[in-house]
Amino acid sequence: MVRRRWRKGLGILWICLGLLLLCASYTQLGDVVVDYAIWRWMVTFKRPIEQVDDYRVVVTKSTRRLDVYQDGQIVASYRVGLSSQGLAPRKTWEDRLTPEGVFLIASMQRQSVFGPRQMLLETTESALEDYLAQYGDAGRARLQTWENEHGPLDTIWETYDFNAAYPEHPMWHDILIHGGGSERDWTWGCIALDDADVVALFDLLHKSRHRGLGVPVEIRP
């Protein structure tokens, strides 16, 4: 079953890449199609994120700054807004805090409810650890039941599926870098930039080896 799914996934990817060749003379359209095709492939086949090392993002909560490093040098810096609930690190779905740690960018999205762009962070490892600390044996039982049916829960895509199966006991997720303004702390745990800045950040990270995917984002106190 897994092998058939992989073959189907590779088939879809090659079809998408073939379609992209038709858009080769239209750079902007080609970028949109490539980004969408990659996103659909990763979501459908629960692909893990591979870290890249050419770019790195550091968010410092205490100073409300997001710094972008390319090959070890700062190349951009932006003001950010954070959680409306304070600066403590996220531990549960309910607390709506901004987490701390190192997370990889899992998707680059050109549409968002909050501004013109958004970037989703892969938070599964930290969120799963916090989930088991919060719910103990009951949480482990839910996780075991889910994994017996679906396999290991180790990507953000499976976190969505797990939460759909247990809507009364969700795992925290959906931490985004998005627009909407940075003048105050107003989010439910996401990192908010001014709209012009999130477009600039998106375009900058899009130059990385995997078009923004896998760029590490370190969120510091």
- Strand 65-70: give its sheet, edge to edge: 73-79, 65-70, 55-60, 216-220, 101-109, 118-122, 176-178, 191-192
117 and 77 share one domain? yes
What is the pTM assigned to this prediction?
Answer: 0.85
pLDDT tens-digit map of 191-201: 999 999 999 99
Q: Which residues contact 46 (CB under 8 A, 6 or more apart)?
A: 155, 157, 158
The whole-number pLDDT of residue 17 equals: 54
Same domain, 117 and 60: yes
Q: Show the 3-state SS of 162-198.
A: HHHHCCCCCCCCCCEEECCCCCCCCECCCEECCHHHH
Same structural domain, 117 and 176: yes
Task: Identify whether residues 154 and 177 lie together within a single domain.
Answer: no
Q: Answer whether residue 50 is part of any domain.
A: no
140 with 78, same domain? no
In which domain, by residue range, is 7 found? 2-44
* Pairing mode, strands 101-109 and 118-122: antiparallel
Question: How far, rounded to the nearest angstrom, does the alpha carbon of residue 211 sit from its chain's CA centroid?
Answer: 13
CATH at residue 107: 2.40.440.10
Number of folded domains that form the chain: 3
64 and 38 in a common domain: no
**What per-residue confidence (pLDDT) applies to 2?**
44
Per the domain annotation, does 49 fall within a domain? Answer: no
pLDDT tens per residue across span 13-51:
555 555 555 554 445 666 777 777 777 777 777 888 999
Tell me how far the alpha carbon of residue 147 is from its chain's centroid.
22
The answer to whether the beta carbons of residues 55 and 217 sit under 8 Å apart is no
pLDDT at 214: 97
Q: Are residues 159 and 146 in the same domain?
A: yes
Q: Is residue 64 part of a domain?
A: yes
216 DSSP β-pair partners: 104
Asked if 112 and 185 sit in the same domain, the reply is: yes
What pLDDT score was predicted for residue 13? 54
Q: Do 64 and 91 sit in the same domain of this protein?
A: yes
Q: Do residues 118 and 13 both lie within one domain?
A: no
**Domain-located, residue 101:** yes
114 and 17 within one domain: no
Residues with pLDDT less than 50, the chain: 1-8, 24-26
Which residues touch 171 (CB under 8 Å, ≥6 apart)? Answer: 93, 127, 128, 130, 131, 159, 162, 163
Examine residue 210 and state whether it is found in any structural domain, yes or no: yes
| Placement of tokens 């990763």 in the chain | 42
Pull the structure tokens for residue 71: 């090959």
Task: Assess if residue 8 is contained within a domain.
Answer: yes
Both 65 and 116 in one domain: the answer is: yes
Tokens representing 16 are 């998408």
In degrees rounded to 5, what are phi and psi of residue 55?
-125, 155
Query: Which pLDDT score, from 0 to 100, does residue 136 have?
Result: 98
